[in-house]
Structure 1
Amino acid sequence: MQLNWIDWTVLIITLLTIVGYGTWKTRGRNSAQDYIKGGNSTKWWTVGLSVMATQASAITFLSTTGQAFSDGMGFVQFYFGLPIAMVVICMVFIPLYHKLKVYTAYEFLESRFDLKTRTLTAILFLIQRGLAAGITIFAPAIILSVVLGWNLTYLNIAIGILVIIYTVSGGTKAVTVTQKQQMFVIFAGMLAALFITLDLIPDDVSFTKALDIAGSNGRMEILDFSFDLENRYTVWSGLIGGTFLALAYFGTDQSQVQRYLSAKSVKEMQMGLIFNGLLKVPMQFFILLVGIMVFVFYQFNPAPLNFINSSTESVLASQYSEEYQSLQSKQNKLFTEKQAVSNALVKSDNDDLRQELYVLDSIEKTHRKEAKFIIKKAIDTAYANQYNKLSSELSSITDKTSELFKEKENELNTLYDDAGKDNKTNDRDYMFITFILKYLPKGLIGLLLAVILSAAMSSTASEINALATITSIDLYGRNLKEEKGEKHMVNATKVFTLVWGIIAIIIACFANLAENLIQLVNIIGSIFYGNVLGIFLLAFFFKNIKSNAVFTAAILTQIIVIIGWWYDWMPYLWLNLFGCILVMLLANSIQPLNKTKETQHV
């Protein structure tokens, strides 16, 4: 799709203004205090917005709206633990960091344990945040490349270069000051998107009725109090797993710690985090609500079976074209029924109509799942051959109750489900951008593209800024044989910023789309965060635990957590709690053994 000149103008001016302002405002910062800690001059509201902008990547807007469209508002439960974590960090973490006057969170670990524990924790951070930095570039790039036809590699490089320019130039302060502008663009763009979407919904559908229609389709089920571990998002996973994830992310992840360490005082740091804690859940609720309103819009306007146009074109040009067109005909008929029932529900408060709408929506979900399956067959010959082989084997088994039949049937069902996870069939993250480009007015399209790219830039800038700081302070600077001056360390940090920016671009160029991008980032975090948080909690509260026990426990925990994730022992949010508790239990178990060895040695 070709953008109008108005959209190009809005997009380019917005991005260049942000980059130019950040570079100009923070020029000439040559001291480590200025470059790495932003001169400790940041106000609390800037801290709050910077913390929020760091977390609110492009993935937030593309995936969260798509999540709401597909599954409803339940994802907001993921953030329920965040306000709790903010209070704990304000009471425990911030006073300690400020007292020690640290540049990074991991400096504290050396004073409490030893250099190898500090180094291990820093390396765990570099691995997970380095991967995440690549994904925050890749996420908007691949979607924009597919929808707009832009070259993916060029997009990855362009986003990375824009971020590198002002982050290398001004360091932490540049990241912070640009994030204020980026958050303004983000809030303005999402508000405009909501109001335009509401305006596109038929005039006789009030906001209340729109929520009623969404609820009838099962999209307004916000709270789930079940203890079902198969369900990723419940009140309990949010309050418990989400609290531990937020504690680890905001309390030990340098990309966030560096944001509030730049504040003027302890009070300013604490107020900034409380501001984030109070605003973050409503913000996520609002973003999900935008996705819900887009869903309601599509109850009165036909939606494609799959939002990835290139994939639809591929299947229509394949031998499965007739099968796909047949499914499309069923979907067209279903839409006519849904539209009629939705219109009737607008005029009548009727539970039977709500139930009918719910059933029709379930059928539509089946159609969408089947569409992904047909597309997968069309684009992946090996997958089609495997499916045909399993189908043939299943039909040849005469005893339909045998163990072999059940085994093959399960294999077939698993293969069918896997179709929706392919990067050319999983269209959830494409829904919102497709809607923007097709239905929103000129100018606003450019603004919302600027929202997506600004969010990508803000998160990536924070990440490479933190990665460079950790590399410079915790690894390079700490292991230098002779002390270097501040100018040397600032220049080294600039070089590491450039290097990590290039690494992030390379990861983005070789990345692959996951089932859902926002989940992928949180999964990567959950694999490492619990372990890191547990190390910090041991440092804070278990004075009897020494360095060797923590170091051994941390390595064992990381191996076990990775195995647990690989074999899907539990929903990923619970990995944060699991890793945190495991490292503390192992350290407490290993410490007495170390004491015994020390006694025997003496």
Structure 2
Amino acid sequence: MPVLDLTIFLLYMVAIVGFGISFSFRKRSSSDYTTGGGRLPAWAIGMSIFATFVSSISFLAYPGNAYSSNWNGFVFSLSIPLAGWVAVKYFVPLYRKLKSESAYYYLEQRFGSWARIYASICYLLTQLARMGAILYLLALPMNSLLGMSIPSIIIITGISVVVYSMWGGIEAVIWTDAIQGIILIGGALACILVIFFGIPGGPSEVFRIADEADKFSLGSYEMDFTTSTFWMILIYGLFINLQNFGIDQSYVQRYLTAKTEQEAKRSTWLGSLLFVPVSSLFFFIGSALFAFYQAQPELLPEGTPGDKVFPYFIVNQLPVGFTGLLIASIFAAGMSTISTSINSSATVILSDHFRKYIQKDPSDKTSLLVLRTSAMVMGLLSILVGLAFNGVTSALDAWWALSSIFSGGILGLFLLGLLSKAKNPQAVFAVVLGVLVIGWMSLTKILVENGLPKTLANPLHTNMAIVMGTLTIFLVGFGLAWAGKKR
């Protein structure tokens, strides 16, 4: 690795970790650690929401997805503004009014302690899967760049993020996210410029080759939910993003860090609307890389997987200096999301488990100790999950499948509480049925291999598990509440 690239990357790593740790030297309370004392500016919170959306799943998996197929995955991004509008109109006012640092306090108020436990455990499992996928994707370019093994890189990266997330709290997370969001946008733009000037024939050749190969397609517009059509991804994206804004601790916690409700709404709009054009940059990079290597096939080893094309390009085609910048950008994307997940998971463990079942009214010192210990444990577990991701065919598909399974349909329970008069027994029955539906849809391939008749197999795409699970919980609970009222 050229000295300049290594210097840029190492300076970035040292600076960002040091900046995050610096927040631990201020006089802090557990409230500062989880909500920043409700004094953070809207633009920084918005950039943090945006950076959490991006992560290295976007920075590496989106280009890999577009390179291997088309822009079908971009339809997921198109659902975010609609989910953002619902969040601004309904979710932000709700959580600002409740003034609880836990996203799952509301579920307890509506249905009892079981709902809070169920939702918080689903959230923790989802975050472990997400952090593991990100750590794996971060390791890909460094594996090519330094020659270090992927497991070694996952361990080193995971520990680096844990250090500043564990000590700095939500302020460290949001301010480092804001910086990293700016860096990753600059890195993506720099990469596109290099492709434009590196392909024979210039930028027009990129559009010609990619268009001829149908690389800008958003997928089939048929009303088919058995494959990755436009409508399937749009509906899946809408449900995932409603869950993010409505019941995901990472987002709900940010609503409480703003000074006022209006600033919380502005930050939500900024984060959600900024992601759409930036995610299109990542998909365009994938299409442009396809054209770049079609025009110069000798530059890419035959059989290189889609997820590894962009890292290979960064290492082998970028000028000295740009490689260090892009690697720093990828780490910026990944570290911002991992730090968010670590902080929010620690908050869930303290609020929804420790204070509820171990010590009802802990001192501030004890609360901070629990937060930091929980952050460390979640970070270490995410490293183990990242090691388990090593060798998957498509990190993006694997993450989408896991997020559908672990979500547990908690969006359905949240909507049931918000939009119906369902009581506790009705909600319990609806959740049990919804979890069975999610399990059947997600594990149908394994069930068929173990004797389930193919006629009973899930006919829909696996990503539809969260959609059908959510609808099952909401509609069954709503129907039972209506029938009970009539009776």
Fold-level similarity (TM above 0.5): yes
Residues 122/441 of structure 1: CA separation in 2 closer, same or farther (3 Å cut): same
Residues 214/482 of structure 1: CA separation in 2 closer, same or farther (3 Å cut): closer
Q: Which whole-Å CA distance do the structure 1 matches of 2:235 and 2:385 have between them?
A: 32
Residues 511/293 of structure 1: CA separation in 2 closer, same or farther (3 Å cut): closer
Q: Which whole-Å CA distance do the structure 2 matches of 1:152 and 1:216 have between them?
A: 36
1:441 offset after TM fit, Å? 0.6
Residue number among 291, 310, 317 corresponding to 1:296 in the alignment = 291
The residue number in structure 1 matching 2:434 is: 557
- Runs of 4+ in structure 1 off by over 6 angstroms are 592-596
Residues 428/143 of structure 1: CA separation in 2 closer, same or farther (3 Å cut): same
Residues 132/17 of structure 1: CA separation in 2 closer, same or farther (3 Å cut): same
Residue 62 of structure 2 is aligned to residue 64 of structure 1: yes
Where does 1:141-156 land on structure 2 (aligned, <5 Å)?
141-142=139-140, 144-145=142-143, 148-156=146-154
Residue 441 of structure 2 is aligned to residue 441 of structure 1: no
Residues 441/536 of structure 1: CA separation in 2 closer, same or farther (3 Å cut): same
The residue number in structure 1 matching 2:136 is: 138
1:577 offset after TM fit, Å? 2.0
Q: Which whole-Å CA distance do the structure 1 matches of 2:31 and 2:369 have between them?
A: 13
The residue number in structure 2 matching 1:281 is: 276
Residue number among 206, 210, 215 corresponding to 1:214 in the alignment = 210
Where does 1:568-579 land on structure 2 (aligned, <5 Å)?
568-579=458-469
Aligned amino acid, residue 584 of structure 1: F
The residue number in structure 2 matching 1:261 is: 256
Deviations 1:16-35 (A, max 9, x none): 11111121145335312211
Deviations 1:93-138 (A, max 9, x none): 1101000101011011111221111111111111222222222212
Counterpart contact for 1:81–1:238, Cα < 8 Å = no
The residue number in structure 1 matching 2:453 is: none
Q: Which whole-Å CA distance do the structure 2 matches of 1:110 and 1:442 have between them?
A: 55
Aligned length: 473
Aligned amino acid, residue 467 of structure 1: S
Aligned amino acid, residue 217 of structure 2: E
1:217 offset after TM fit, Å? 1.3
Where does 1:162-173 land on structure 2 (aligned, <5 Å)?
162-173=160-171
Residue aligned with 1:243, SS: helix
Q: Which whole-Å CA distance do the structure 2 matches of 1:506 and 1:28 have between them?
A: 32
The residue number in structure 1 matching 2:36 is: 38
The residue number in structure 2 matching 1:226 is: 222
1:595 offset after TM fit, Å? 8.9
The residue number in structure 2 matching 1:10 is: 8
The residue number in structure 1 matching 2:454 is: none
Deviations 1:358-382 (A, max 9, x none): xxxxxxxxxxxxxxxxxxxxxxxxx
Residues 25/482 of structure 1: CA separation in 2 closer, same or farther (3 Å cut): closer
Residues 481/290 of structure 1: CA separation in 2 closer, same or farther (3 Å cut): closer
Q: Which whole-Å CA distance do the structure 2 matches of 1:241 and 1:509 have between them?
A: 27
Residue 468 of structure 2 is aligned to residue 582 of structure 1: no
1:590 offset after TM fit, Å? 4.9
Counterpart contact for 1:143–1:429, Cα < 8 Å = no
1:288 offset after TM fit, Å? 0.9
Aligned amino acid, residue 515 of structure 1: T
Where does 1:331-346 land on structure 2 (aligned, <5 Å)?
none
Residue 240 of structure 2 is aligned to residue 245 of structure 1: yes
Aligned amino acid, residue 224 of structure 2: D
Q: Which whole-Å CA distance do the structure 2 matches of 1:158 and 1:93 have between them?
A: 37
Counterpart contact for 2:416–2:478, Cα < 8 Å = no
1:254 offset after TM fit, Å? 1.0
Counterpart contact for 1:242–1:573, Cα < 8 Å = no
Residue 122 of structure 2 is aligned to residue 124 of structure 1: yes
Residue number among 193, 198, 201 corresponding to 1:200 in the alignment = 198
TM-score, length basis structure 1: 0.75
Deviations 1:398-445 (A, max 9, x none): xxxxxxxxxxxxxxxxxxxxxxxxxxxxx1100001111111111111
Q: Which whole-Å CA distance do the structure 1 matches of 2:152 and 2:272 have between them?
A: 36
Counterpart contact for 2:45–2:254, Cα < 8 Å = yes
Larger radius of gyration: 1
Q: Which whole-Å CA distance do the structure 2 matches of 1:498 and 1:594 have between them?
A: 47
The residue number in structure 1 matching 2:402 is: 524
The residue number in structure 2 matching 1:475 is: 353
Q: Which whole-Å CA distance do the structure 1 matches of 2:482 and 2:167 have between them?
A: 50
Counterpart contact for 1:557–1:579, Cα < 8 Å = yes
Residue aligned with 2:392, SS: coil
Deviations 1:541-563 (A, max 9, x none): 112x1123213322331232121
Counterpart contact for 1:77–1:233, Cα < 8 Å = no
Residue aligned with 2:297, SS: coil
Counterpart contact for 2:72–2:229, Cα < 8 Å = yes
The residue number in structure 1 matching 2:82 is: 84
Residue 173 of structure 2 is aligned to residue 175 of structure 1: yes
Counterpart contact for 1:468–1:494, Cα < 8 Å = yes
Q: Percent identity among equivalent residues?
A: 29
The residue number in structure 1 matching 2:97 is: 99
Residue 395 of structure 2 is aligned to residue 542 of structure 1: no
Aligned-residue Cα RMSD (Å) equals 2.1
Aligned amino acid, residue 538 of structure 1: L
Aligned amino acid, residue 291 of structure 1: G
Mark the runs of 5 or more structure 2 residues left unpaired by the alignment: 445-457
Residue aligned with 1:448, SS: helix
1:271 offset after TM fit, Å? 0.8
Aligned amino acid, residue 8 of structure 2: V
Residues 306/463 of structure 1: CA separation in 2 closer, same or farther (3 Å cut): farther
Q: Which whole-Å CA distance do the structure 1 matches of 2:89 and 2:462 have between them?
A: 27
Aligned amino acid, residue 213 of structure 2: N
The residue number in structure 2 matching 1:411 is: none
Q: Which whole-Å CA distance do the structure 2 matches of 1:90 and 1:70 have between them?
A: 36
Q: Which whole-Å CA distance do the structure 1 matches of 2:353 and 2:484 have between them?
A: 27
Q: Which whole-Å CA distance do the structure 2 matches of 1:592 and 1:252 have between them?
A: 25
Residues 481/75 of structure 1: CA separation in 2 closer, same or farther (3 Å cut): closer
Aligned amino acid, residue 470 of structure 2: C
Q: Which whole-Å CA distance do the structure 1 matches of 2:302 and 2:145 have between them?
A: 12
1:152 offset after TM fit, Å? 2.4
Q: Which whole-Å CA distance do the structure 1 matches of 2:426 and 2:163 have between them?
A: 43
1:574 offset after TM fit, Å? 2.5
Q: Which whole-Å CA distance do the structure 1 matches of 2:160 and 2:247 have between them?
A: 27
Mark the runs of 5 or more structure 1 residues left unpaired by the alignment: 309-426
The residue number in structure 1 matching 2:451 is: none
Q: Which whole-Å CA distance do the structure 2 matches of 1:136 and 1:31 have between them?
A: 30
Deviations 1:204-230 (A, max 9, x none): 43x344312211111122364221224
Counterpart contact for 1:32–1:486, Cα < 8 Å = yes
Q: Which whole-Å CA distance do the structure 2 matches of 1:210 and 1:61 have between them?
A: 20
Counterpart contact for 2:140–2:311, Cα < 8 Å = no
Counterpart contact for 2:50–2:270, Cα < 8 Å = no
Aligned amino acid, residue 575 of structure 1: A
Residues 146/445 of structure 1: CA separation in 2 closer, same or farther (3 Å cut): closer
1:528 offset after TM fit, Å? 3.8
Residues 225/32 of structure 1: CA separation in 2 closer, same or farther (3 Å cut): same
1:142 offset after TM fit, Å? 4.6
